[in-house]
Amino acid sequence: MQSSLSVSDSDGSSFAPLVVLELAEDTEAETITWLLNRIKDKQQNGGAELLVEQLEVIGQNEQKRSPKIFLVGSTWKRLLIGAEDVGLFKEFHDGTMRGFTYANRESFKEFQGDGDDFLSIAECQYIIKHELDTLRAKGESHVPGYAKVKLYPGKSVIRRLQSKAILLQYFPLHDKEELKRLSVSWYRKIKLSFQPLDDIRHYFGEGLALYFGFLEYFTFALVPMALIGIPYYLFAWEDYDKYVLFAVFNLVWSTVFLEVWKRCSAQLAYGWGTLSRKKAFEEPRPGFHGALGFNPVTGREEPVYPNTKRQLKIYLVSVPFVILCLYLSLYVMMIYFDMEYWALSIYNEDPNLWTSVLLFIPSIIYAVVIEIMNLLYRYAAEFLTGWENHRLESSFQNHLVLKVLVFNFINCFASLFYIAFVMQDMVLLRQSLATLLITSQILNQIMEAFLPYWLQRRRNKKVHKRVRRLLGDRELPLVEQVQLEGDMYTYLGTFDDYLEQFLLFGYVSLFSCVYPLSALLVVLNNVTEVYSDAFKMCKVFKRPFSEPASDIGVWQLAFETMSAIAVVTNCALIALSPQVKAYFPEGETQLILTVVAVEHVILAFKFILAFIIPDVPKHIQIKLAKLEFESLEALKKKSRALGRKCWRPQRFQRLISDAE
């Protein structure tokens, strides 16, 4: 770890600031003293044993908005001990990935000398976040200075301060040097090469690196499809007769694509040490509230919220609300069809250039409306899921993802399903698909990166001016950096990025056989997406805390579901093609039965394939089995060495019962 900046401790020794805590302006002095003491206190006494210092901004009183800013750092040894606490996996000297322990630090491959470069800054920041998050109340019944902000033994202090808006935010600092290097290799030069995934992981953590890995993999996987699509477009094979071949390709592709990704992601996650890392015990999420009761698992006193009440909220409010939204979305769709019909009738009356442009207007308007509805619904879903009061962040996320996915799916694809299977109008389907795809891509790029960047620049200029005015000519880069970064937007996680890819995957896999150019459009979109996403991570948003991840989680399931649905739509599209119909002159019944049979076989084949292909590549399986075997052998040896005496070996199991 090398940081370009440092602040001085109260003892005079200096440390590298890693994380910024921003407390509300009107925080009581008593509270601050207490919090700083808890953070600095030794671990034996229940403290976090970190270094913390207030950032002195000269002339603070002149401004209206002047939150109290604290910088947190740590000694080197504390970080290494923390790395063991969070269960970090690192490369061992024999090339396998093992859980890091302070005692065995010398046996790890990259540990040299004092081990200064052993942990990346992102890892250090993650460790500090973990230690702050697990700083728990001891005897305090409330936060000193705020009698109303209750605490109970074991409650995370930071989470309580956050939920009561005493702690406004806390975020890791950017490292300008490293960020510059990363951005140069990532997006600053236009080149035909892979993304520097290891560097991204090094700077932003595994969660984000996996997203960018998936984005890249998805884009490359689309290239063959895009290439096949081009001749369809060029040679006007678009009499809807040739698309059977394309649909078949589609089916195979969408299955293989996801299975291979699982293996790629396992490979990446193994190399990054997150594959076999165990999940930490999950804390209640900050917003969770309830009457004090006993947690049946930990036996600790903590807020408890009756599950029946939550279920009632879900089934009596959330589900009806989602259904209402779906109805609304379908209603808007019908309005779109009316508009479409109206535009067509005008065109038919007087076909000229203007009226032919008019033909595209309803689709464009509808695409914009879809995006707006998605956005509004997103807020509503987040509010509703928060109101359902889930105890764990993972449960909150699952309910949110489910709500958002169902709505987005219907909202984006219902019109296409309607055109394809009810109206059976392939010309309109193609036109509608193209317009939806292109419009939503353009909107997304604007909304996601350029708009925030533009707003950011305007703000930055103001901050620059303000800071310059305050400091005069003195160089105080740290103050400026902290102020600038504190004002940046907060990155809310990979949810929206994955959602966008999910919808693009839907456009490509569900209906692309009638518009073979869509794969090419998605490839083009994703190439710019890589750059704009990279740009927004480096320039627009605050640095996010790194998030250990071993796979893309619920999104794997979402993509697999989409690919199963794609089998159904592609089979149905094949059945609708005149070419296939010509093969069954005796009547529709025979055709439908054949297509249904084929569809069942393909679906069964998909499941078998998913079952047969191992999720983890063989060579990594062997490495994992090796570790497991060694741990078993070690236990046996220990047991044999000590076993014959009355005293039996100190096993993992014993530790458990010792704790009581």
Binding site for a second copy (CB under 8 A): 42-44, 81, 84-85, 92, 98-99, 101-104, 107, 280-281, 296-299, 568, 588-589, 592-593, 596, 600, 622, 625-640, 643-644, 647-660
CB 222 within 8 A of CB 508: yes
CB of 631 to a second copy, least distance (A): 4
Nearer to a second copy, 167 or 595 (CB): 595
By C-beta, is 289 or 626 nearer to a second copy? 626
Distance in angstroms (rounded) separating the CA atoms of residues 444 and 467: 34
Minimum gap (Å) between residue 198 Cβ and a second copy = 24
Q: Which is nearer to a second copy, 6 or 107 (CB)?
A: 107
DSSP codes, 347-411:
HHHS-SHHHHHHTTHHHHHHHHHHHHHHHHHHHHHHHHHHHTT-SBHHHHHHHHHHHHHHHHHHH
Pairing of strands 68-73, 51-54: antiparallel
Beta partners for residue 292, in sequence order = 303
Rounded to a whole number of angstroms, the minimum distance from the CB of residue 477 to a second copy is 35
**Sheet of strand 19-23, all strands in order from the earlier edge strand to the far edge:** 51-54, 68-73, 19-23, 167-172
**Cβ-based neighbour number of residue 47 at 10 Å:** 16
Quote the tokens at residue 643: 């076993």
Nearer to a second copy among residue 76 and residue 92 (C-beta)? 92
Both tokens of 121, joined, read: 């800054």
Q: What is the DSSP string of 4-30?
A: S--EE-TTS-EE---EEEEE-TT--HH
Residue closer to a second copy (CB basis): 309 or 600: 600
CB of 410 to a second copy, least distance (A): 15
**Beta partners for 54?**
70
Task: Write down the least CB distance from residue 555 to a second copy, Å.
Answer: 15
Q: How far is the CB of 386 from a second copy (least distance, A)?
A: 22
Q: How far is the CB of 649 from a second copy (least distance, A)?
A: 8
- The phi and psi torsions of 169 (rounded to 5 degrees) equal -165, 160
- Shortest Å, Cβ 422 to a second copy: 12
Straight-line distance from the first to the last Cα atom of the chain, in angstroms, rounded to the nearest whole number: 39
User: Which of 330, 343, 341, 337 has the alpha carbon at shortest distance from 412?
Assistant: 330
- Of the pair 468, 626, the CB lying nearest a second copy is at 626
Q: How far apart are CA 73 and CA 204, in angstroms?
A: 18
| Element spanning 441, H or E | helix 426-445
Q: CA 103, 105, 107: angle at the middle one, nearest 5?
A: 110
Residue 348 or residue 657: which is nearer to a second copy going by CB?
657
Nearer to a second copy, 522 or 602 (CB): 602
Cα–Cα dist 364/431, whole Å: 11
Measured CA to CA, the distance from residue 129 to residue 117 in angstroms comes to: 19
Q: For residue 209, give every residue at least 6 positions away whose Cβ sits within 8 Å of its Cβ, in sequence order, or none.
A: 197, 198, 200, 201, 268, 272
Residue 139 or 299 with smaller CB distance to a second copy: 299
| Distance of alpha carbon 309 from alpha carbon 329, whole angstroms | 29
Nearest to 179 by CA among 199, 195, 193, 198: 199
DSSP 285: P
Q: Long-range CB contacts (< 8 A, 24+ apart) of 186-194?
A: 186/534, 186/538, 187/530, 187/531, 187/534, 187/535, 187/538
| C-alpha–C-alpha distance, residues 392 and 287, integer Å | 10
For a second copy, the closer CB: 278 or 474: 278
Contact 597, 575 (CB under 8 A): no
Q: Residue 552 CB, nearest distance to a second copy (Å)? A: 18
Task: Compute the least distance from the CB of residue 213 to a second copy, in Å.
Answer: 26
Residue type, 29: A
Q: Are the beta carbons of 572 and 595 closer than 8 angstroms?
A: yes
Q: How far is the CB of 659 from a second copy (least distance, A)?
A: 3
| Residues 523, 236 contacting (CB under 8 angstroms) | no
> Smaller CB distance to a second copy: residue 450 or 584?
584
Nearer to a second copy, 156 or 456 (CB): 156
Is the CB of 371 or the CB of 599 nearer to a second copy? 599
CB of 94 to a second copy, least distance (A): 8
Taking the complex as a whole, the smallest distance from the CB of residue 298 to a second copy amounts, in Å, to: 5
What is the C-alpha separation between 399 and 307, in angstroms, rounded? 14
Residue 327, token pair as written in the block = 């109805």
**Closer CB to a second copy, residue 471 or residue 568?**
568
C-beta of residue 211 within 8 angstroms of C-beta of residue 494: yes
In terms of CB distance, is 144 or 617 closer to a second copy? 617
Output the smallest distance, CB 593 to a second copy, in A. 7
CB of 645 to a second copy, least distance (A): 11
